[in-house]
Structure 1
């Protein structure tokens, strides 16, 4: 039975699948005759049956223009540079040649790494990986998604089993440096998606390190909506006679179905504007681009609390990778949702059916505008893009867009549909300290992003009203921005240095002038000095030999009248320099010693106005001698002896305090009233019990023993301490129902007050 099934399976397998060698030879013959003009569908391309079946199963039937023109060159093994508008199908333009190349090389799961596809963002790498799984499902090769945020140990153990690696630059370089199982000597193809972003300054060092590890004998493909043409970038990639494919080079760089417009809004009105826009477009899919992660986080948290009536999502770089993937999938699935995002969502991501793209913060340049706006109007669909500019950004940004042949119209906002949520936001921030901190970070991050932009014709930090902007976010005061403080400090130092240089020049000029004035007794020497010092202050000398007096020989005409005050310039400079010096701890200590200040000493005054200190006087003889010594030096050995002697007195005082506390506790428990102590000066405390003795058993007092006690306060016969205490208690509480046989307890005993307890303690100390 098993043999029968095996024969049927082999027969079906042979009939449905042609031999690989024959198919490879047949396809290679067709590569040279590919004509993009006659290609109407993917079946017209010389592709393997596995790829054709995967494309058909994924509902890819008609190739786009970039796919028609680039796939043929890629199949021939040439280096390709592809540039096309957003949403034109660049992903399939390099995935299909990668699959076909490995198929032609008879690549298997154990052949190692055959192709590496690098993208600048994790979301784009994830999207490429999902597309590859769809069209390459019938190929006998393996693929791996290597991005940050995943389990590094899991990736290390399986890197040698991946044939196609889709990765981000940082993660692949980490495996190159740390993973001994990662071997790329057999690699055939390198693909850079969004190549201009991968090769820019942000990834420059990382990409240089990656390219240094890759074999030179490879095929390279670059794809982007804004392709790089830099000679330096192309030299780094070691391209060999690359073919430049740009079907839309002479057309608009944005989709034809994209409707573009911009509006000018003050910075403090941005939040009101976007809130009003969302409330008027609740049934549409919107992406809102912001400049920084902290801004996205703040807008997301505030709008969640405001509850606009539609779903709110946020996508930014500091989120955990699993959460980022879930947000990406959720946004693709929903039809009416608002996504606040940074520029990580601006490149390559294929979000379906996006109605609006709003650029709430101005993009860095025209290329960034193109990538942001390209998230809508994809695959012949319609979409709208709205750019929000500040009055200071309008002129510069419009000029940048005109250089890319992008012409957008200005529209005006209907003020009747604008309503501000500022009152609610202020209430939220007053109640939630965490949200307030998020608002502060959003404020600082926006100011930093504007400050660090290169194009100062567009981004002008000095035209931002910090106070008004902070209040629009719900903040009461303006947060401190350290980068602005550093800039001001640097400018101030530069001004001080320029002033110092000018002052030094003036000092030198004044010294030259004073020397020439000292030599004024000799006309010849003064004339010589004037000729030798051409750079001296502007002075005119009249030498008249007809005058009788030598004083009349010289007439000085000064244009700079500030030379008289040059004597004090050096003092002013020294004072200015001293203000900027940092006072060290040693210098501060020396200054205190010179002023003879007693550190850690507070001075108190009594009612009579005499000074008294909080320092306790030393009680030992050796301590008193040490206290009145006149020497300023500290004798450590002598100080140790003083401390040892003073500790003895401190121990005694501590024991007395403990006894006093014990007595207070016992008197509170037994209800002893000490009001009779108030009018007495000398108090007899002999009746008090010993605090070290424990009284467990009740005491039976006989009538005979009570006769020996005089209730006037004089003891005739010495009774035991316990009997004295009991007798005094009976005398004290004679009106109470007291029994000392242990049956009845004391009733209605008045507890000690605080004043009474303090009075007892004072009597004990006396």
Structure 2
């Protein structure tokens, strides 16, 4: 199937050709016709499946074909949880709409709102926003949401994880009752499913690349190592010249800063990216990583779905996440759009339980690297997750009585035999 067969118009096809896109991904092939038909959409798809194009391409076409008379007003709202994701979506919208006269703006916190307000005043068709800054500018009277025709809620489960779900609900009640809603989430926990049911009208459901299946196309390797030797192991692994660039994931902001500092001391160019960094610093680090100016981007999980870099060959889990789905999202930074990739994970003794949970979710073993210079004091075989011991079922009261009678009978028989042996002796 081609993009042309999906019914996309010439200006969009020209933009896709410029970007080098020839064949739609599964989520694009399923979602684009639904959106063009102006139906609500419930899509279970994670980052790396091409979902941004799945909603932005048909939205651009709908807006282009139905340009109203008079001044521009916001007709599409795309809500996303992080600044990095908002910027990436805006870049995609810019590229896909290059041969149209549509205008867009992106707003997010952490920077001055002055320039964002100026863009809004000039008139836009598409607004990409994070929840907090959207509410701030709405309350200040800089944003009018009454003309919204399409509402996209992207990364809904991440909104929940980051504590934004209440802001999302506050925004939803400010939107027109009649609109097209496109709901995207990598996972569907009960609270997210309930939210989807409350805002969607007769949606078409699409599910591609379940969270556990991403791991199937990524070659995974597990290094058991003492906690104190992890940084040395990381430097050793990065001596491999085939790792041109790689994101390295930590669990904490402080840990990300510390790892980046140690790598730079070892003459490996690295920058850290996390929530405590200013927006300018975060964007500069991400831009430098994309451009190849730095080799390693050390990130916390808040950025796990916000790193969108083509052709990443490796991902390194410096620390094992305590949520299995987070592991899958992390390694999903490589092996994107059907490409192959390699995920390396460093596990100390305290993280063994996390590995066990991950293996359950991805339903496949993770091969252990049994030879490297920083093997832990315990062997990899000893450290490997062990199957749980069989659970002893509690006996019913009748079973307990029968067991006691049997034991008493056996005891009497044993004592009787012992007495006979004693007499014979």
- TM-based fold match above 0.5: yes
Q: 1:111 to 1:336 in 2, by over 3 A?
A: closer
Of 264, 277, 284 in structure 2, the residue corresponding to residue 304 of structure 1 is 264
In 1, the alpha carbon distance for the partners of 2:17 and 2:242 equals 36
TM-score under structure 2 length normalisation: 0.81
Which residue number corresponds to residue 124 of structure 2?
162
Q: Compute the displacement of 1:255 (Å).
A: 5.4
What pairs up with 1:102-113 in 2 under 5 angstroms?
Answer: 102-107=63-68, 110-113=71-74
1:277 aligns with 2:240: no
Of 265, 269, 293 in structure 1, the residue corresponding to residue 225 of structure 2 is 265
Which residue number corresponds to residue 370 of structure 1?
328
Of 325, 332, 347 in structure 2, the residue corresponding to residue 389 of structure 1 is 347
SS of corresponding position for 1:245: strand
Which residue number corresponds to residue 683 of structure 1?
none
What pairs up with 1:653-732 in 2 under 5 angstroms?
Answer: none
Q: Is the contact made by 1:107 and 1:141 (CA closer than 8 Å) also made in structure 2?
A: no
Q: Is the contact made by 2:212 and 2:361 (CA closer than 8 Å) also made in structure 1?
A: no
Which residue number corresponds to residue 415 of structure 2?
none
Which residue number corresponds to residue 195 of structure 2?
233
Q: Is the contact made by 2:271 and 2:294 (CA closer than 8 Å) also made in structure 1?
A: no
1:51 aligns with 2:9: no
In 2, the alpha carbon distance for the partners of 1:405 and 1:149 equals 40
Which residue number corresponds to residue 62 of structure 1?
23
Q: 1:82 to 1:335 in 2, by over 3 A?
A: farther
Which residue number corresponds to residue 332 of structure 1?
290
Which residue number corresponds to residue 280 of structure 2?
322
In 1, the alpha carbon distance for the partners of 2:302 and 2:71 equals 35
Which residue number corresponds to residue 172 of structure 1?
134
Q: Compute the displacement of 1:109 (Å).
A: 7.9
In 1, the alpha carbon distance for the partners of 2:358 and 2:155 equals 21
In 2, the alpha carbon distance for the partners of 1:353 and 1:49 equals 28
Q: Compute the displacement of 1:396 (Å).
A: 4.6
Q: Compute the displacement of 1:283 (Å).
A: 5.1
Q: Is the contact made by 1:362 and 1:388 (CA closer than 8 Å) also made in structure 2?
A: yes
Offset from partner CA, 1:595-652 (integer Å, 9 cap, x none):
xxxxxxxxxxxxxxxxxxxxxxxxxxxxxxxxxxxxxxxxxxxxxxxxxxxxxxxxxx
SS of corresponding position for 2:214: coil
SS of corresponding position for 2:319: coil
Offset from partner CA, 1:92-144 (integer Å, 9 cap, x none):
00101211221232246823111111121111111111111111012222100
Offset from partner CA, 1:160-205 (integer Å, 9 cap, x none):
4121011111111111222x23111010111122221123461122
Q: Compute the displacement of 1:353 (Å).
A: 2.3
Of 133, 148, 153 in structure 1, the residue corresponding to residue 94 of structure 2 is 133
Q: Which has the higher strand share?
A: 2
Offset from partner CA, 1:343-378 (integer Å, 9 cap, x none):
233105321222221111221311111110001111
Q: Compute the displacement of 1:312 (Å).
A: 1.7
In 2, the alpha carbon distance for the partners of 1:187 and 1:85 equals 25
In 1, the alpha carbon distance for the partners of 2:26 and 2:242 equals 36
Q: Is the contact made by 1:114 and 1:186 (CA closer than 8 Å) also made in structure 2?
A: yes
Q: 1:332 to 1:259 in 2, by over 3 A?
A: same
Which residue number corresponds to residue 635 of structure 1?
none
How big is the alpha-carbon RMSD for the aligned residues of Structure 1 and Structure 2?
2.5
SS of corresponding position for 2:330: helix
1:147 aligns with 2:108: yes
In 2, the alpha carbon distance for the partners of 1:384 and 1:147 equals 33
Offset from partner CA, 1:321-344 (integer Å, 9 cap, x none):
223222212211218711111123
Which residue number corresponds to residue 685 of structure 1?
none
What pairs up with 1:274-673 in 2 under 5 angstroms?
Answer: 274-281=234-241, 284-307=244-267, 310-334=268-292, 337-415=295-373
Q: Compute the displacement of 1:264 (Å).
A: 2.5
Q: 1:123 to 1:181 in 2, by over 3 A?
A: closer
Which residue number corresponds to residue 213 of structure 1?
174
TM-score under structure 1 length normalisation: 0.46
Find the structure with the greater CA-based Rg: 1
In 2, the alpha carbon distance for the partners of 1:208 and 1:374 equals 29
SS of corresponding position for 1:52: helix
Structure number with higher relative contact order (C-alpha < 8 Å, ≥ 6 residues apart): 2
Q: Which runs of 5+ in 1 are unaligned?
A: 1-39, 419-766
SS of corresponding position for 1:213: coil
Q: 1:63 to 1:107 in 2, by over 3 A?
A: farther
Q: 1:199 to 1:110 in 2, by over 3 A?
A: farther
Q: Is the contact made by 2:74 and 2:145 (CA closer than 8 Å) also made in structure 1?
A: yes
SS of corresponding position for 2:8: coil
In 1, the alpha carbon distance for the partners of 2:70 and 2:29 equals 30
Offset from partner CA, 1:730-757 (integer Å, 9 cap, x none):
xxxxxxxxxxxxxxxxxxxxxxxxxxxx
In 2, the alpha carbon distance for the partners of 1:182 and 1:101 equals 22
In 1, the alpha carbon distance for the partners of 2:213 and 2:293 equals 27
Which residue number corresponds to residue 484 of structure 1?
none
Which residue number corresponds to residue 155 of structure 2?
194
